[in-house]
A and B are shown apart, each in its own frame.
Chain A
């Protein structure tokens, strides 16, 4: 009985972990991400442009994760949808790896 409970508990835990990993964005090529971010995001997310300035170090890693999970709520959701999943993953890799609480926080040069 005890062993069965442990197994069920582990199985549930495993399912939750799997759900977590499937919803999180796959990290892609950071260097491509840097280019794609500049081309697709910074054109608006800059000082004096139509959206708030954004750099990798504007958010923490957890905040970037949340942003990529909930982008459909953003005003620019349509722009996001123009990007393929691998492209989104590339941008995510760049932003996540240089977030405010990352080992190498960065602004866009």
Chain B
């Protein structure tokens, strides 16, 4: 009789597939995982603590560094929370600019996911294709606000910079180009037999489980819960746009993949409409004071980041600094279900399932 023993395998904090400094302690029996324990906190910078000593405008660059793959939505979450309590009126042009940059950022973020996910599965080329397109989006951001990753673009009351001459046309051209490119990705990957075998039926969960574990974003929708904050709790001017919310059925990796790819298409749809109705001229900042004082009160605001529900619980006492600021980071909450999903899977699926959740460690650890 052969005697086998479980082996404790330490994945991370430095590992090509943990997408950052994430550590996973797995007990494996051969290649089968019997137990998995995520260890996080390696990138904890105390954003919430720092925010208590910073004015609202000063907090914005810190939010850039939470989910650094979609800094625009993170920018928005803090200004949105402050604006909710202040009840300011945002100029039309600023709202449009916000929606455009957030949707562009969503596409860029999903492209990074697409590329790195295929890389996790062992395909190298899609990664480079996806980054080629993402590069063009970053160039647009660069032109708009002078930064490619950490934008620091939004302000309480509007946005910092107006769109430069011809920028909107470039967005339009990019949206048209992305339509073709998404189809190209579909042709390259979606029908690939190996890809389907690696994703179909892997890492699925029920809608009830997804809700119980507080999953959000694609992770929730892939399980069949139609819950998109842009539709269900409309913020900014999202209620003016036509778009669909793609949902899956089983929550497996293939559903997540299809949902994300469809979201890219829907974001392009929103971009098309936003570009078409973009106001000719107008201010991009509401008249708020130089020092932003948020009236006393509390508010929990929620927006749909590419990774899920990005919430912000703001407690203000009427000062120019928040009394307490708590970010509800989607990656942090989505990651909780990982040990449950990994049980009984093998090492190759570990990488696929972890990649499917789509975490950004800057956000998990905040």
A and B: interacting chains: no
